[in-house]
Amino acid sequence: MREVALFVEDFAHQAFLAALLQRLAAEYGVEVHLDWRNARRGHGAVVNELKQFLRDLQRGRDRLPDLVVVATDANCKGLVERLRQINDVTSKSALRVICAVPDPHIERWLLLDSAAFKTVFGRGCNAPDQKCERMRYKKMLIDAIRASGVTPSLGGIEFAEDVVAAMDFNRAVAADDSLRRVIEELRGVFQTWQA
């Protein structure tokens, strides 16, 4: 069983990444245990908890995971800046780290594959644009779900597992470089674990 430590900024990242990692684990026939180290309080908490985790590892106070996944929205900072911020924290560590940085927000990833959306909700969604406006993609996700006749109780993120399960990764990654990067890196890790 492979141990994956995850640092994510909120429930939306947790739901999406849990679904993504479980799907890849099933596809590659690899068992994974997801160890949620942080799943709330935003980007700052992700960075602080990650720093503390790395200090604890250096002091022998924690187990060494097979993989660390760090997820935070790019927001208006941009993908490159968020990756730099995370790499500044992890660069001296020998750990295998993957940064899952939706550009600009995690809800956008759920709107990338209209066919998957249609499979889950019976109606497709419009392809999302790419703007850094706060709350834009949360609203787009809620509106698309409501248009199908479903009322989301948690802003739509409660359907992440279903959407990710139905997603055609090739179609989704063609529409978004930040998702392409994460899926390619995760596939590379799962391939090495499979061997």
Q: What per-residue confidence (pLDDT) applies to 97? A: 96
Residue 108 to residue 6: CA distance in whole angstroms: 20
pTM confidence score: 0.95
Q: What per-residue confidence (pLDDT) applies to 159? A: 98
Q: What per-residue confidence (pLDDT) applies to 21? A: 98
Q: What per-residue confidence (pLDDT) applies to 162? A: 98
The end-to-end CA distance of the chain, in Å, is 13
The 67-71 sheet, strands edge to edge: 32-39, 2-8, 67-71, 97-100
3-state secondary structure of 161: helix
From residue 170, give the alpha-carbon distance in Å to each of 177, 179, 181: 12, 10, 12
With both helix axes pointing from N to C terminus, report the angle between 136-147 and 114-121 in degrees, rounded to the nearest 10.
Answer: 50
Cis-peptide, bond into residue 152, ω within 30° of zero: no
**And the tokens for 106?**
């995690």
**Residue found under tokens 């590379």:** 188
CA-wise closest residue to 13 among 144, 108, 96: 108
CATH number at residue 125: 3.40.50
Domain coverage including residue 126:
2-194
Per-residue pLDDT of the chain (195 residues; tens, 9 = 90+): 999 999 999 999 999 999 999 999 999 999 999 999 987 788 889 999 999 999 999 888 888 999 999 999 999 888 899 999 999 999 988 899 999 999 999 999 999 999 999 999 999 999 899 888 879 999 999 999 999 999 999 999 999 999 999 999 999 999 999 999 999 999 999 999 997
Number of domain units in the chain:
1
